[in-house]
Structure 1
Amino acid sequence: MAPVPPVVVPLHPADHEFLDRVAALRSPEVAAANPGRPPDRLPNAKAISAHFEKVMATWEPHSFTPEERQQVRLDGLRYLVIVRQIEAVQRDIYPRQLPPETAAQLDFARRSYMLRYFRIFRINELPTEIISNILRFVVWDSMKSPVNARLRITWTCRAWRAIALADSTLWNAVWFRGSGPRIDRAWSWFERARLAPLDIRIDGDPQAEERDDDCSVFDLTAEPSMTPFDMRQMLLRLFTKLSTIRMLIVVVDDWKSALVLLELLGTVVPSCGVPMLQRFELHRGGLKNEDRKTLMWPHVVSKPFMGGVKAPSLTYLSLNGVPIDWSQSVLENLTTFDIRRLPASHSPDAARFREVLRNCPRLQKLSMDGAGPRFEESAERIAPVDLPHLRTLVVADFSREYAMFLFSQFSAPNVNDLTLMNLCGDDYLALFIQLTSVFPKVRLLTAYSIQFDVNPHGLAAMTQWLDSMPLLSYLRVANVANPFFGLFFRANDLKTPVSPRLQFVDCQSIEPAIIVQWAKDRANFGTPLSKIYLSEELGARLTDDQIKTCQSLCMLAKLPRGATTPEEAALSL
């Protein structure tokens, strides 16, 4: 077999001249590629971007002749040689930087090479299985919404469209909201999913946030919420695939639509079953907050959840402002149990609540936001239910007496993430004394709107509560009195720090001067913070001097609302 002749990469004379100037940078005396002469080849990033936008806009896809393919290949190799030689110089002169015009040329050459590389990359000659896996990665790991990713894949070429439409797993995440084109598109995806496990979200809340990715597909104005009749018709059609639904999240704004869902589930599930359902959420009143203390409920007859039959795969249950018949519902083997906004008239009694907890021995997250067992002040003390696997606990919006009763119903010594919110309007010191030494493994603490007596006894007791969580590393804090920050210092014992492992703080609704002074005091005390996350509102209130002070002590970053920080995610594992 004859040897393959080496590929000769044709560099232009101007290329050689330019690369010679770049190579001269290796001499320490040379400070620029062409001193005293203005750059003549795409000197800035803006010009480079404009050039490639024009190239892409004017490109007409077509089948290459062998001559065209060879020319594209040679042009690509030319730019690859230029890239490699500039990168070699860049390594040799480190830590000196390339001159701006040379850096611009490096960027231009890289993008020119990639443009030609993809024009001749024979992706459609790969096996269908590999292309399908690539497309799945593009859709589900896209930085932007899978909505646009799925659509654009089907618009690329006939081959990709055929592969995408044949892959039911690309279409099994379906979001129903609004009306008209959005709903039609969702039903198309519902059909394309065929028998793949379905992840369904229904958003009937008229206040639901609009997503930018949809605006590029449809030019839609504000749309009305789904009516209860629309909800019923939609659910009847969805439930033709009830056995394949893996996740069902429903957000509605009215009572009737929520009751329609519960009614249909109670009617259909006993005869058809839900063998694959792993996660169920129903939010009545949307996801916005309401004044729970004045929450008025109409006369509602509670029905058994899922008709009183067992959902064998269900591990995640969230009920927000909706009633069920607790005594007739089968609730067991949950790993996440989330209840919100339930008045006492529609809450489980304490015995039934403890029974549900006992039936969920692998429970990992328990969230009780204005909802829990009915208060039984006169009931004799019963041993709490042990929840050894509980890692995340959220308790919010309760009176002092009720919160103390609630914490007496269970024990969870391995909680890692503890959230206490809206415990205010009274002195909750007795509650924090009760919680001292109860959660020794907490590493993430959220304290929003908590209230306690700030006299010397109260401050000492609250410091003891913090001392009982020695692993605390991440603090989320908002709407707390200024003395809360003083709990982290001992005036009479400078050698024993409070929360010595505390490194990360997420702040909202706090006086800027307080957080700046607190960061300084932590550093002076010998327990400096590593990073402070600020809400966008709080960050805008800091002065330039305050920002500089914080940055001299630790890292400072703005945190968009609802975002999860990398440190928080790591500590939650």
Structure 2
Amino acid sequence: MSDPQPPSQQLQQLEYPPAIHPVAGALAARQEVRLKQFLSSLSEPQPHDPDRSQHVRYVTSCYHSRIYEVEGYKNRVSPEARVKLESILSELRFDRNLIYWRLFRINDLPPEILITILRYVAWSTPIQKQGVKYRLWLTWVCRRWRSLMLGDSTLWSAIWFADPPPYARSMAWFERAGTAPLDLRINERDERWNSNEDDHRFTGEQMSDLLDMLFVKLSQIRMLIVIVDNWPPALVVLHKLQEAGRAGLEINITRFEIHRAGRPYVWIGPGYQPDTHRNPSVLFGGQTRMLDFLCLNGINIDWNQTPLTNLTTIDLRRLALDVSPSLAKFTQLLRDCPRLHKLSLDGAGPAPDARPLVHKPVNLLHLKILVLGDFSLVYLRYLLAQFTAPNVLDLTLMNMNGEDYSPLLAIITPMFREVRLLTLYAIEVGTIPQSKRLLVKWFDSMNRLGLMKLAQIKRHILEALLEDPQQYDEHLPGTTDSPRRVLCPNFTALEYQVVQADAVVALGQGRKELGVPLKRIYVNEVWVPKVRGEEQTALRTVADLFIAPLGANTVEELELME
């Protein structure tokens, strides 16, 4: 391993760091790049390398002395000079830390402490695919780390079957997991699939073979997420689980998701074997006592024969009405899940009843997250009459276009006053005065709103956030001497994509003039290439600018949902 440079040589290379904005990378991000470059420049350690610890101690002590000297000098200069010296100190401390870690005898730690540290590292990423890499990299460091990693079954119990059949890597992890509870993700999406149901690379037979290998540990499976494109493999999953449950095999799955990503709202065509696949499956053969989280996307179950109680998450997507639960079954499901925390209905809900039941709406007191999407206005009126949820904190409305949905806003204005996080994707609201009034009154009902996520939203919806709500209150005269109220006074963070940057800038400027400026603007990662340099500059004039990585929550989102 090459020796670090002494401080005198390092100091000659220092430059005052420029003012780097978060969207381009803050000082910490810049230093992270330097750290990676430094580590990649080091040679691989060899068994007979000389002990350089004394040299590292000497260089580190030189840095300590230099830092102490600059800190003392900083206290004797003008404030303007202190800013530059603080930049130098930041670089000096970082350069010291580049080599200081080499003195830490991490392998002298007791095994139980070291493995705890390795667990923190392995699970420190919010992005699941990175977690796969982290675990691999940790086993490559040295023999001791590899031995500890391979001996800890919990580190291998979360398995993403994204490698190609026969899944050599994933099955190796499956064996390493031993008797630990298993969290399994099977992802067989084909991005190049042409939606032809009879032409697909992943078949039902392949899914059957994979499940036969996995179900030797069926009782250990805690989470099972399956993502496929067409019917055969999806039907095989439900059928295999039904048969296992009926055979008396122990099923302890607490979270189950199955996603059929092909064409929505269609049932299987001719030629699917066995014939039992034509009939909806009873989920887990009725062994659903442990189930807590259920997501069905593009595929249904036998609603009448499957017992579903005490769920905390119900996520239904893209179901044809003729295979959806009846209104009676749907409302009974809500009653049987009094701890329901999240309800997501995206193009799926109770089938309309020719003779609607007269019943009191189910009161979902513990519901915090509600997602509604891809419904007509008429159906939304019907759906929202079935339940109340006064404590929703996170509300999502998406894919509601083709008509003016402002009447929906009138319905939900008194329903969700506690919302902190609002997501609007492709929502159509008219520009006529009546629609604008309903939009303003809806925003006025959410005084605790802190973060908005927007996609494919028209400019006039953003402009409504700058209106004076008193001008739209029919109970007040046209002019009043009372102080100017502001819509959503706690709204300080915005995440967007597929929205024109100038509309976001106009919103930020208007909120600043009203005395309630935005603090942060997040650009969704997929939309970043669409934001030109001059647009970035304009956005920075109204708020700090950040990139929102896919699959990761923003700081505000985590804080608001606490």
What TM bracket, shorter-length normalisation?
0.7 to 0.9
Aligned pair partner of 2:130 in 145, 157, 161: 145
Deviations 1:147-188 (A, max 9, x none): 33333333344333333222211211112234357x112111
1:493-533 alpha-carbon deviations (Å, 9 max, x no partner): 77122222211122222233222222222222232222222
1:41-100: CA deviations, max 9, x gaps?
xxx99999878655424x4233x7xxx55xx33222212211211121232233254599
1:81–1:277 Cα change, 3 Å: same
2:497 corresponds in structure 1 to 508
For residues 550 and 138 of structure 2, what CA distance do their matches in structure 1 show? Answer: 31
Aligned to 2:69: 89
Root-mean-square deviation over aligned CA pairs: 3.3
Counterpart of 2:403 in structure 1 is 426
Give secondary structure in 1 for the equivalent of 2:436: helix
Equivalent AA in structure 1 for residue 130 of structure 2: S
Counterpart for residue 40 of structure 1: none
Which runs of 5 or more structure 1 residues have no equivalent in the other structure? 1-13, 23-30, 32-43, 210-223
Q: What displacement does 1:457 show?
A: 1.8
- Select 2:153's aligned residue among 168, 176, 190: 168
Whole-Å Cα distance in 2 between the matches of residues 196 and 97 of structure 1?
A: 54
Change (3 A) 1:75 1:366: same
Amino acid of the residue matched to residue 520 of structure 2? Answer: K
Match of 2:257 among 257, 278, 281: 281
Distance in 2 (CA, whole Å) between partners of 1:369 and 1:165 is 41
Which amino acid in the other structure matches residue 513 of structure 1? D
Separation in 1 of the partners of 2:314 and 2:37? 53
How far residue 15 of structure 1 moved from its aligned partner, in angstroms, is: 7.4
Is the alpha carbon distance of 1:450 and 1:82 closer, same or farther for their aligned partners in structure 2, counting shifts above 3 Å? same
Question: What's 2:184 paired with?
Answer: 200
TM-score (normalised: structure 1): 0.80
Question: What amino acid does structure 1 have at the position aligned with 2:110?
Answer: P
2:98 is aligned with 1:111: yes
The amino acid across from 2:179 in the alignment is L
Q: 2:460, 2:83 → 1: CA distance? A: 50
The answer to whether residue 209 in structure 2 is matched with residue 233 in structure 1 is yes
Alignment of 1:412-451 (within 5 A): 412-451=389-428
| Aligned counterpart, 1:453 | 430
Correspondence list, 1:338-487, <5 A: 338-376=315-353, 378-487=355-464
Match of 1:529 among 513, 518, 522: 518
Aligned AA for 2:223? M
Match of 1:244 in 2: 220
Match of 1:215 in 2: none
Of residues 61, 84, 91, the one that matches 2:47 is 61
Q: Distance in 2 between the 1:47 and 1:166 partners?
A: 33
Q: Deviations over 1:103-123 (max 9, x none)?
A: 8776555434433x25xx261
- Give the aligned partner of residue 172 of structure 2: 188
C-alpha change, 1:486 and 1:48, in structure 2 (3 Å) is: closer
Q: Aligned partners of 1:185, 1:510: CA distance in 2, in Å?
A: 41
Q: Note the residue ranges of structure 2 that are not aligned, 5 or more in a row.
A: 17-30, 75-81, 194-199, 271-277, 472-477
Matched residue SS, 1:501: coil
Find the aligned partners of 2:266 and 2:400 in 1 and give their Cα distance.
18
Q: Which amino acid aligns with 2:244?
A: V
For the 8 Å contact 2:523–2:546, the answer to whether it is kept is yes
- Counterpart of 1:419, as a letter, is T
* Alignment partner, residue 552 of structure 1: 541
3-state secondary structure, aligned to 2:304: helix
Question: Per-residue deviation at 1:306?
Answer: 1.1
Is residue 512–residue 538 contact of structure 1 (8 Å, CA) maintained in 2? Answer: no
Cα distance in 2 between the residues matched to 1:547 and 1:407? 40
Maintained 8 Å contact 2:328/2:357: no
In the alignment, the residues of structure 1 paired with residue 516 and residue 359 of structure 2 have an alpha-carbon distance, to the nearest angstrom, of: 42
Give the secondary structure class of the aligned counterpart of 2:315: strand
Report SS of the residue matched to 1:91: helix
Query: How many angstroms apart in 2 are the aligned matches of 1:554 and 1:496?
Result: 22
Q: Within 2, Cα distance between the matches of 1:410 and 1:48? A: 54
Counterpart contact for 2:407–2:438, Cα < 8 Å: no
Name the structure 1 match of 2:274. Answer: none
Instruction: State the structure with more CA Rg.
Output: 1
Residue by residue over 1:410-462, the C-alpha shift from the partner in whole angstroms, topping out at 9 and shown as x without a partner, is 11000000001111112222222111211110111111222233221221122
Displacement of 1:192 after TM fit? Answer: 1.4
| Alpha-carbon separation, structure 2, partners of 1:557 and 1:45 | 17
3-state SS in 2 of match to 1:327: coil
Verify the 8 A CA contact 1:387 1:411 in the aligned structure 2: yes
Which structure exhibits the higher relative contact order, with contacts defined as CA atoms closer than 8 Å and separated by 6 or more residues? 2
**Cα distance in 2, alignment partners of residues 135 and 538 from structure 1:** 34
TM-score normalized with structure 2 length: 0.81
Are 1:316 and 1:336, in contact at CA under 8 Å, matched by a contact in 2? yes
Structure 1 residue 565 displacement after superposition:
1.4
In 2, Cα distance between the equivalents of 1:370 and 1:423? 10
Specify whether residues 184 and 536 from structure 1 end up closer, same or farther in structure 2 by C-alpha distance, changes over 3 A only. Answer: closer
Distance in 2 of aligned mates of 1:515 and 1:376: 43
Residues 545-554 or 477-486, more deviating: 545-554
- SS in structure 1 opposite 2:380? helix
Share of identical aligned residues, percent?
34
Aligned length: 506
Give distance in 1, aligned partners of 2:232 and 2:414: 45
